[in-house]
Structure 1
Amino acid sequence: MIALRATDLSKTFTPPKPLFGAAPPGVRAVRPMTLEVAQGETLGIVGESGCGKSTLARMLVGLLPPSTGEIEIAGEKLGVAGPAVFGKRIQYVFQDPISSLNPRKTIRDILETPLKRLYGMGREERRKRIAEILASVNLRESFLDRYPHEFSGGQAQRIGIARALAASPRIIVLDEPVSALDVSVQAQVLNLLADLKTEFGLTYLFISHDLAVVEAVSDRVVVLYFGAVVEIGPAERIFSAPKHPYTRLLADSAPVVGRTLTAPEQKGTELPDPLNPPPGCAFAGRCPRATDLCRSEDPALTDHGDHQLAACHHPLED
């Protein structure tokens, strides 16, 4: 069963037109892409800074309107179903656990908001539901009358997860959920997320730049570059036998204990100019396998077997 489907989804940020002169070009943060996520799946989304990961996530939960395309959750389209209905189906866990919580609100106020707005629960019903949620994320009820600044990063992230669970969603988008935490706390939060997925039958979209974490928690992985999907497939295949040179570059760039840190690229390591995108494959300027075909024609996603697709004219061999 398909939990989430995004069809031809894209986002272009258009700057305001100046009083004089021509309007500046828009920035295509996400180029048209189509994704499907199965019920109960964890889909990892990776790519370097500026590739469009967070913009995609914000469109999927309705925080940003897409420029083109459609988003469906359980057969209902965003915009047609309305934000309240979508809020019951999909929720967001932010990267920075402290700043994502309202500093003027107590934890009780933060957790009660979705229960009031989405479900109209009364006081006693809210109290019972909050007690259940806190037990699920291993937090004490004595925390409810405290404020976000009184908690550690790991505790604050558990509160953020509890806030998402309060809406009883089927899908949770996790945007770098452990990147701001200490390594030992990261493991605790990841184990918690795994337990919650089993307990509540959740579907995850897990965004991260930490490839080891993504490989460990994901069933499939989407690799983004310059706002487009360049490879998608099972997690074990993506990292052990990548088809796109950019995926190989990401894997080689990840620090590994015992391996000397060396620069994987010598020049041309920056993303292309978003105001003046190059023709053809956006990765051609950094790719050692690039040819004239790559610089003139944008490759389409092609099936390479084992449910692995890559957008490359000259894919890597196993």
Structure 2
Amino acid sequence: MLNETILRIEQLSKSYKQPILRHLSFQLAQGEWLGIVGENGSGKSTLVKIIAGLEKADQGTIYLHEKNQSSYTRKEWAQQIQLVTQYSRKSLDPMKTVAQILREPLQLWHLVPAEQVEARIASMIVTCNLPTDILSSYPAALSGGQYQRVSLALSLLIEPAILICDEMTASLDKINERHLFKFLRTQKHMTVIMISHDAVLVNHICDRCIRMQDFKV
């Protein structure tokens, strides 16, 4: 059963040389999986950046836990909303090992006591179907699928209120894709926005689907 509204977007608009988003409004309930589908150029990536706090809308308001986005600091917003994007080699620090990368959010936000940090990381590595010896590896040594799963582990360690998956599994095989979504579905508190061009996948995984057409939903 879905709970109260966690995210509310009202009359969101964004233009560059032409309108990308226009008067877009929707709500997201606690624990809901919302799918957003659309063709390239429909505004999906722009919407993701605005919700994640990486870009500002020209007009409109975003409320999280019934608080205006403007009342959050950048750090607070980042802890509440995490974004896992399509695979690229730019999301992980190439100069740090996987263990060092995964320690950072736990230490930055003091999410667990210091003596529990390593156990929490080890548990997340298993959860994301990664070998334990990967912790001593650098990002350049990871396969595409491993790199993406480490990126997901990094976001999950922060324990966000909302996880945005922007074509997150595009580089994974079907087995690992199913494993990740099955795991995320076991997290009853997890609220997910799933961005994809694959309407079949979205309709199978999500509670509700929005199609971006004519810059409106």
**Under a length normalisation based on structure 1, what TM-score does the superposition of the two structures give?**
0.62
Alignment pair present for 1:53 and 2:44: yes
The CA distance in 2 between the partners of 1:178 and 1:121, in whole Å, is 28
C-alpha distance in 2 between matches for 1:179 and 1:171? 20
Residue in structure 2 matching 1:224, options 205, 209, 212: 212
* CA–CA separation in structure 2 for the residues paired with 1:111 and 1:132: 12
- The list of structure 1 runs, each at least 4 consecutive aligned residues, that deviate by more than 4 angstroms after superposition, is 120-123
Q: 1: CA distance between counterparts of 2:106 and 2:13?
A: 32
Q: Which runs of 5+ in 1 are unaligned?
A: 14-25, 230-318
Consecutive unaligned residues in structure 2, runs of 5 or more: none
| In 2, Cα distance between equivalents of 1:197 and 1:203 | 10
What amino acid sits opposite 1:71 in the alignment? I
**Is 1:173 aligned to 2:164, yes or no?**
yes
Cα offsets for 1:225-258 (capped at 9, x unmatched): 24322xxxxxxxxxxxxxxxxxxxxxxxxxxxxx
Q: Relative contact order: is structure 1 or structure 2 higher (C-alpha 8 Å, sep ≥ 6)?
A: 2
Give the 5 Å matches for 1:125-274. Answer: 125-181=116-172, 185-199=173-187, 201-229=189-217
Number of residue pairs aligned between Structure 1 and Structure 2: 214
Q: Give the CA deviation at 1:198.
A: 1.7
Query: d(CA) in 2 for partners of 1:49 and 1:132?
Result: 37
Shift of 1:98: 3.4
Find the residue that maps to 2:201 and give its secondary structure. helix
- Once residues 37 and 98 of structure 2 are traced to their aligned partners in structure 1, the CA distance between those partners, rounded to angstroms, is 31
Indicate the RMSD between aligned Cα atoms, in angstroms.
Answer: 2.0
Larger Rg: 1
Residue 8 of structure 1: aligned partner: 11
Q: What SS class does the counterpart of residue 197 from structure 2 fall into?
A: coil
1:197-240 CA-partner distances (Å, limit 9, x unpaired): 323521111111112211211111111124322xxxxxxxxxxx
Contact 1:94 1:176 in 2 (8 A): yes
1:260-315 Cα offsets, whole Å, 9 max, x none, are: xxxxxxxxxxxxxxxxxxxxxxxxxxxxxxxxxxxxxxxxxxxxxxxxxxxxxxxx
Instruction: Determine what percentage of the aligned residue pairs are the same residue.
Output: 34
Question: TM-score, normalising length from structure 2?
Answer: 0.89
How far is the alpha carbon of 1:29 from its aligned partner?
A: 1.8
Contact 2:31-2:188 at 8 Å conserved across structures: no
